[in-house]
Structure 1
Amino acid sequence: MSNIRGRFAPTPSGMMHLGNAWAALLAWLQIRKQNGQFVLRMEDIDGPRCRPELAEQALADLRWLGLDWDEGPDVGGPYAPYTQSERIHLYGAAMEKLLQSGQLYPCYCSRAELHAIASAPHGLSAEGPAYPDTCRLLTAEERQERQVHKDPSLRFRTDEERPILFNDGIAGIQHFPPGAGGDFVVRRADGIVSYQLAVVVDDAAMGITDVLRGGDLLDSTPRQLMLYDALGLQAPRFAHIPLLLGEDGKRLAKRHGDTSLAGLKAAGVRSEQIIGWLAYLAGQLERFEPVAASELIHCFDLTRIPTESITIHDTLMKRLFN
C-alpha cells in the first residue's frame, strides 16, 4: 500500500458548492492516482458558524459526486476522531508546547484597534494586514494591567530573520520574506482555536503527506510552515489550485446563481455532468463531456491544472445546466 495520504476538509458552515467540488475532486484524484489513502475531515472548530446537518449534507454531496474516502467521521479510522470539535485537547497540547518554548504571547488588542490596522500595507494578501507587534513588546507589568480589562488572544511569534521558501505543486517556487504577515493569532480571545493551528496539528497527527487546496490558502502556507517547524512536525507537500471566478471577477458564489451541489441535483443536473465540467476546466479532459470521477483516475495529471484563476462565463455555466 502506498504511504501517500491526502485529505479533503470542508467547513460545515454552508452548503457544498461548485468551488468545494472543484477542490474535493482534484484532491481525491491526486491521491487515488497514487494508490494513496484519502481522508475526510470535518473542520467545525468555529462552533457558532457550523451546523451538524450541513456536515451530514456534505457527506451526501460528496458521495453523490462519486467520491469516497478511506477514513472519516462516518467510517472511522486509526486517527479518529475526524471532526475537529472532538480534537480540542490536541490543540491545547500544541499551544502548551508553543507557550513553553516562548513562541506565543497574549494579545490584548481590541477589535477597534485591529480594525485601525486595516489601513496598513498587507503582509499576506489573503491574511489581512500585518500585525504591528503592539502586544509583543509589552512588559509583564503592562500585560498584567491589560489582563484586568480584557481576555487576550494568543499570537504566534514569527521568525523575523528567516525567509520562507517552498515549492508548490501547481504554483511553483514560492518565496516569502522573514516574518511574512507578522505575528498571527492561534487562539482567539473567546477561546476558539485558529484554523492555522488546528489544520497543522490535524494534518501532522493524521500523517497527511499531500495537501491540495484552493489558491486562496496559498498565503496561509508560510504561517503553517512556521508552526510545523516550531512544533517539530513534518510538513506535507502543498499544491494550490486556481479559484473559480464569476464574470464579475469574484469567487463563484450564490450571486452567480445556485451553485450548491444540492441545488444542482434538485434541478436535474447529473453528477457526471459536474465531474466532466470540472475535469475539463482542470485540463484533464480535452472537451466537456459527462464522466464518472473514477474514470479520471488513470489519466489524472497535476501538471495540466491551470495556474491562473478561471473565469466561468455564463455560456460555460449553461453548458453544465443544459
Structure 2
Amino acid sequence: MASIVAATPWSRIRTITKLELAPPIFLQSSVYYCKRRRFSVAASLSTNTNKVDGQVRVRFAPSPTGNLHVGGARTALFNYLFARSKGGKFVLRIEDTDLERSTKESEEAVLQDLSWLGLDWDEGPGVGGDYGPYRQSERNSLYKQYADKLLESGHVYRCFCSNEELEKMKEIAKLKQLPPVYTGKWATATDAEVQKELERGTPYTYRFRVPKGGSLKISDLIRGEVSWNLDTLGDFVIMRSNGQPVYNFCVTVDDATMAISHVIRAEEHLPNTLRQALIYKALGFSMPYFAHVSLILAPDRSKLSKRHGATSVGQFREMGYLPQAMVNYLALLGWGDGTENEFFTLKQLVEKFTIERVNKSGAIFDSTKLRWMNGQHLRAIPSNELTKLIGERWKSTGILTESKGPFVDEAIQLLKDGIDLVPDSDKALSNLLSYPLRDTLTR
C-alpha cells in the first residue's frame, strides 16, 4: 500500500485533531472490505449535540450559479433563526466548485440579497473567521489531504475504468433490472495491477468503498428516522480524474472541519446524506444533526420555478417588496408558533423559532398572501419613515418635484391604506392628482 500512496501527486495528509462531534446515526450489519482485510464499522447513537465549546454552529452554503431563490432564502433564514435562538454562529460558505457555472457576479448578488434580508453572518466572505477559507474553490488542498487519508486507510481506492466501461456496466444493470451501481471492478485490485496503470498514465478517480449489506439510519430533526439500504448505493466517486473533488466529499469535509453542529437544508439534499454519513465515519468524524426542510411548492403543488413567476429574492426586491415582509412570509412557509399570529418582526422570529415546529410537508408559495403581508408591514412603518420612503420615490420618478412637505404628508396618509407595495403609490398619487375635483364640485 505504501508504494501506491507514494505515487499520488498530492501531498501526504497532515495530522488533524479529531473533532468532538456527535451524530444520530448507526449502521446495521455493515462490513468494509479493504483489499483482503475485513473490519466492521459501527457507530452508536448519542444525545450530545455537535458543538465546539458548547456552541451551536450552522451554515448556509449557496452555489453562486444564479440568483438566490426564495427556497434558498428560507433555508438561510431557518439557519439564521436557529443560530440566533441558541446563541450560536451563522456561517456563510460559498460552494463554487462548479467552475464553469460559478460567477463572481452571482456570488455578489447572493451576498447582497442576504444582507438586504437582514441575515448577517458571523463567519464567511467579507467577515472572515477561524475556520476559513469560506469558498470551496480556495479549499482544494484540504480536500486532497483528506482524500489521501482515505486512500491510506483503505476506505478509498483508485478506479481506472473508462467512461465506456462505466456506461457498459449501466447498460448491463438495466437489462438485469438492477440498480445502476458500480460493479467494484477495481475494488480488489492488487498493488501490482494498480502500479501498472499508474506507470501507463491511465486516468483514475477515487472511489469510496461502501459497506456490503445492511442499512444506515439517521434521526432527522424534522423527518424522524430515515434509512437506506446500502446495497442500492455502490462504490461512489469522491475525486474526479482531473483532481476535482465531488460535491458530497467537499460538503462533508467542510462541515466537519468547520465544526458545524446542525445541517439545516432542503429535502432535495436528503439522498446525499447517505454518502456523507459514510464519509464522516471513514474520516473519523462524528456527524452533525440533520434537519431537511420541505420544498416550497407552486399553487399546483409542483416545485416552484420560473414558470410560476418571480422566484428570486432580487426580483421581489425590484418589485418593491420590503425585506421585513419577505422574512416574515418565508418564515411562515413550513413554520408557525402555534398561535393564530402571522405578523412577526425578525427579532420576534428569533425569540419564537424552534426546529421542532418546522413542518415536513411542502409549503405553498402564495404570491397574493405575500403581497397582502407586505401591505401590513408597509402600514406598520412609522409615519415619518413611510413619508420619507414614498416621498423620495415620488420625486425620483418625476411625479413630484419635492420629496417632502405638507402635501406629501397628507397624500401619503390618504393613500397608504390602499397600497400594498411602494410602487403602487405612483398610480395612486397619479389618480389623485388627475381626479376631476373642480367638475365634481360644480355639479
Which of residues 348, 366, 369 is equivalent to 1:319?
Answer: 369
Q: Which amino acid aligns with 2:131?
A: Y
Q: Which amino acid aligns with 2:91?
A: V
Which of residues 126, 132, 135 is equivalent to 2:183?
Answer: 132
Q: How far is the alpha carbon of 1:2 from its aligned partner?
A: 5.0
In the other structure, the counterpart of 2:347 is 294
Which of residues 95, 100, 107 is equivalent to 1:55?
Answer: 107
CA-atom RMSD, angstroms?
2.6
Q: How far is the alpha carbon of 1:291 from its aligned partner?
A: 4.0
In the other structure, the counterpart of 1:46 is 98
**Structure 1 SS opposite 2:100:** helix
Contact 2:66 2:106 in 1 (8 A): yes
Which of residues 65, 68, 73 is equivalent to 1:21?
Answer: 73
Query: Partners in 1 of 2:178 and 2:360 — Cα distance?
Result: 23
Q: Which amino acid aligns with 1:45?
A: T
Which of residues 105, 129, 138 is equivalent to 2:157?
Answer: 105
Query: Partners in 2 of 1:6 and 1:156 — Cα distance?
Result: 27
C-alpha distance 138-49 of structure 1, shift in aligned 2 (>3 A)? farther
In the other structure, the counterpart of 2:357 is 304
Q: How far is the alpha carbon of 1:133 from its aligned partner?
A: 2.5
In the other structure, the counterpart of 1:126 is none
The answer to whether 1:79 aligns with 2:131 is yes
Contact 2:294 2:362 in 1 (8 A): yes
**Structure 2 SS opposite 1:44:** coil
Which of residues 314, 320, 325 is equivalent to 1:262?
Answer: 314
Deviates more, 1:42-51 or 1:130-139: 130-139
What are the ranges of 5 or more consecutive residues in structure 1 without an aligned counterpart?
124-128
Q: For residues 4-62 of structure 1, give each alpha carbon's deviation from its aligned partner in whole angstroms, at most 9, with x where no partner exists.
A: 11111111111111111111111111111111111111111222221112111111111
Query: Partners in 2 of 1:279 and 1:258 — Cα distance?
Result: 18
**What pairs up with 1:1-322 in 2 under 5 angstroms?**
3-111=55-163, 113-114=165-166, 117=170, 120=174, 129-138=180-189, 148=200, 151-179=203-231, 181-247=233-299, 249-284=301-336, 289=342, 291-312=344-365, 316-321=366-371
TM-score (norm 1): 0.88
**Over alpha carbons, which structure has the higher Rg?**
2
**Structure 2 SS opposite 1:132:** coil
**Structure 2 SS opposite 1:297:** helix
Q: How far is the alpha carbon of 1:246 from its aligned partner?
A: 2.6
C-alpha distance 76-180 of structure 1, shift in aligned 2 (>3 A)? farther
Query: Partners in 2 of 1:244 and 1:234 — Cα distance?
Result: 30
**Structure 1 SS opposite 2:329:** helix
**Structure 1 SS opposite 2:270:** helix
Deviates more, 1:112-121 or 1:180-189: 112-121
Query: Partners in 2 of 1:185 and 1:87 — Cα distance?
Result: 19
C-alpha distance 283-191 of structure 1, shift in aligned 2 (>3 A)? same
Query: Partners in 2 of 1:135 and 1:249 — Cα distance?
Result: 44
Q: For residues 235-271 of structure 1, give each alpha carbon's deviation from its aligned partner in whole angstroms, at most 9, with x where no partner exists.
A: 1111111111234554322222221111111111222
Query: Partners in 1 of 2:202 and 2:325 — Cα distance?
Result: 53
What are the ranges of 5 or more consecutive residues in structure 2 without an aligned counterpart?
1-52, 373-443
Q: How far is the alpha carbon of 1:295 from its aligned partner?
A: 2.4
